Amino acid sequence: MARNPQPGLPIPSAVHVDLAWSSGRPDLLPQPVCHQLLRRWLLSLQPELAPQQRSRTYSLGVTVTDDDAMADLNRRWRHGHGATDVLAFASGQDDPWWAPGRGEPLELGDIVIAWETSERQAVASGWSPAQEVVWLLSHGLLHLLGWDHPDDAGLAAMLERQILLLEATGQTTVQDRAKVWSLPGDPFANHQFT
């Protein structure tokens, strides 16, 4: 994924998100809030995106589910054991030769968040379950756009970008950021990033 703007490539001034949304806990991530956050984050990320990822319209799915369903997805698709906090299933349409048809949205994929796991992590992190779900939504979106964390440096860069996304939409403060980065021991021991 390109991290630097490419000269001469159009950067949309507005984006639309075609959202497929399902939630077992709509109080943690109401659909209008989810839609607004994704739209604003995608707009703010435009200068960093590879040319084939830039679009005026995106389509993606967000599901907030329970730990049992998440454990099943984790086992089936990642050969993992138990629930994890967030899974991102990219569409694979980031191939430089692929482009949506005229007027069609760019399909990013699906983000699945386990609300029970997110509630436990929120308690351990000292913030609200809703804040944790928004944090995981930002993490999943970055994965759909090609970000990854195969090592500590990649994880640090991705988490820093998440913080910037949340700050840009008023979802976190400098105090929250300091809390995340200053937890005793491993600052992300309570998170099961995937």
Q: In terms of CATH architecture, what is 16-93+103-181?
A: 3-Layer(aba) Sandwich (3.40)
What residue spans define the domains of the chain? 16-93+103-181
For residue 194, the model assigns a pLDDT of 36
Q: Are 174 and 166 in contact (CB under 8 A)?
A: no
With tokens 């990219």, the residue in question is 90
Query: Beta strand pairing status for 16-23 and 106-114?
Result: unpaired
| Cβ atoms 118, 129 nearer than 8 A | yes
pLDDT value, residue 51: 80
Q: The pTM is what?
A: 0.81
Per-residue pLDDT tens, the chain, 194 aa: give them: 434 444 445 666 667 787 777 778 888 888 888 888 998 999 889 888 888 888 888 889 999 999 999 999 999 999 999 999 999 999 875 555 556 666 678 889 999 999 999 999 999 988 889 889 999 999 999 999 999 998 888 888 999 999 989 988 887 654 554 455 444 333 344 444 33
